[in-house]
Amino acid sequence: MKLKTINVSGANQITKEEILAAGNINSNLKTWTIKDDEVKNNIKNKYNIFKDVSVKSTFPSKIEIKVEEYRLIAKNKKADGQLDIIMENGKIYNGDVRNNYNLPILENFKEDENKLKEVYKNLLELKQEILIQISEIINEDDGNLTIYMNDGQKIKVLRANFSNKLNYYDEISKYIEDKKNTTLNLINGAYLETAKSEKQRSQNIKNILARNGSDINNGDKEKSQNKEGNSSNDKNVTQNRSISPQNNNGLTNQTNKRRNT
């Protein structure tokens, strides 16, 4: 008997028609001619997005195909501007994207696999509701990341473990009123940076440097004054020493005069 019932489940990015075509399955096949393992391998070899594929044909006229796809986690922007779709296993997806769930775009990683692996690991540890809120992730020269959220919030994070803090973004964002004009710094603790606070911080640094510079100058001035004082004292000592022999000669002459008398 020919196939009458063909069931396909679990697919998201790949359509039922594409899966059946990859497995050479159609309604003209007779059940007894179908080799389940061969169908399974054909499907997996055609699309690398499938984590698992199971095929079960049963008499008299039924076949059931179940697939499990790898999650798509990001789009990596290459130097030429092309976007590679990254799966949860860190590999590039080779099929069409029908549901991208607002995947974050990774920029400025310069094909550095070690840095990308760190980011992939953290993306997998993010809650799905947080992941889909991320617009861009930019690799900075200082080794940290700048993340832009879809609500306009800019966030600074460590590349190695940013998922630990970013998973609480929904709770933190409730207390941020002006998301477009603030930066949420999650590198050391959690605090907001604004244009005003950055200006004040720069001024504080200038004040500290200016104060230290003033103290140094005062110290140098005091040292100079001490040197002058010491030089004056040395001069007085020298003068006293030069006077002493004269005084001694005067005393000697007076003594001799008395003796002669």
pLDDT in tens, 104-153: 999 999 888 999 999 999 999 999 999 999 999 999 988 899 999 999 99
Q: Does position 101 have pLDDT exceeding 70, yes or no?
A: no
């604004």: which residue's tokens? 194
Q: Does position 258 have pLDDT exceeding 50, yes or no?
A: no
At residue 130, the pLDDT reads: 94
Q: What is the Cα gyration radius of the chain?
A: 41
Helix boundaries (H) for the chain? 16-22, 36-46, 113-125, 128-131, 163-166, 169-173, 195-260
User: pLDDT digits over 24-58, tens only?
Assistant: 999 888 888 999 999 999 999 999 999 999 999 99
pTM assigned to the model? 0.69
Burial label, 184 (beta-carbon count in 10 A; 0-12, 13-18, 19+): buried
Q: Does position 102 have pLDDT exceeding 90, yes or no?
A: no
